[in-house]
Amino acid sequence: MAPMKLYGATLSWNVTRCVAALEEAGADYEIVPINFGTGEHKSPEHLARNPFGQVPALQDGDLVIFESRAICKYACRKNKPELLKEGDLKEAAIVDVWVEVEAHQYTSALSPILFEVLIKPMLGGTCDQKVVDENLEKLKKVLEVYEARLSKSKYLAGDYISLADLNHASVTLCLFATPYASVFDAYPHVKAWWSGLMARPSVQKVAALMKPSA
């Protein structure tokens, strides 16, 4: 069977979020670059994959889906369902909880920082330090919860790696490309958790892809 096709730019943390899951799941896939500079993301061909004109999109045979976390779940269900703990109702529920926490607490606090520090200057804008500072405080509050959780278990859902952990990889790598990486220093269990994730080949693959020279 032909490999799955992941459409997008590897500088996008939404695209590389999918790469972490695809790699950890051992999926057969290839990345098909989408050129934002030429407006390819708004082309009829890509709008047929993602009607919002965004990335990523995934094609697997005649199935085409979009939204990064949906793609991650699909990759796990198809190739390594234990990353979702779908065979155990209670464990699966805990994985789901922390997948939601990543999206609505962690990344929602981190994304404005990344936009101001990494993206805005690329677009010719100036970083709004007030936005950065406000969201750093939000992120610290989130990390307090993570510290408490990770003082009780090795990973977020328990003592096993899951999609809940992997979904943090791309945005956290972006955080470490900013002057604010030291925010983790105050949270030793969070820092140890991240060090463990960074040692995984799937996350190392994401890190390699996100380098500007990649």
For residue 129, the model assigns a pLDDT of 97
Task: Give CA–CA dist 61/121, Å, rounded.
Answer: 39
Q: Which DSSP string corresponds to 64-125?
A: EEESHHHHHHHHHHHH-GGGTTTTSHHHHHHHHHHHHHIIIIIHHHHHHHHIIIIIHHHTT-
Task: Give CA–CA dist 115/24, Å, rounded.
Answer: 27
Strand partners, 31: 6
Task: Give CA–CA dist 81/9, Å, rounded.
Answer: 26
In the chain, beta strands by DSSP E: 4-7, 29-32, 57-60, 63-66
CATH 1.20.1050.10 in the chain, residue ranges = 85-209
User: How do the pLDDT tens digits run along the chain, 214 residues long?
Assistant: 789 999 999 889 999 999 999 999 999 999 999 998 898 999 999 999 999 999 999 999 999 999 999 999 999 999 999 999 998 999 999 999 999 999 999 999 999 999 999 999 988 999 999 999 999 999 999 999 999 999 999 999 999 999 999 999 999 999 999 999 999 999 999 999 999 999 999 999 999 998 754 3
Q: Which two tokens stand for residue 94?
A: 């805990």
Question: Which residue pairs from 195-202 have beta carbons closer than 8 angstroms and sit at least 24 positions apart in sequence?
Answer: 196/154, 196/155, 197/165, 197/166, 197/168, 197/169, 197/172, 200/24, 200/161, 201/23, 202/19, 202/20, 202/21, 202/23, 202/24, 202/166, 202/169
Residue 180 φ/ψ, nearest 5 degrees? -110, 15
Residue identified by tokens 């269990």 is 189
Q: Give the residue among 145, 147, 132 at the shortest CA–CA distance from 185.
A: 147
Task: Give CA–CA dist 190/146, Å, rounded.
Answer: 7
Task: Give CA–CA dist 125/62, Å, rounded.
Answer: 41
Domain 85-209 has CATH 1.20.1440.130: no
The CATH H-level (homologous superfamily) assignment of domain 4-83 is Glutaredoxin (3.40.30.10)
For residue 122, the model assigns a pLDDT of 87
CATH 3.40.30.10 in the chain, residue ranges = 4-83
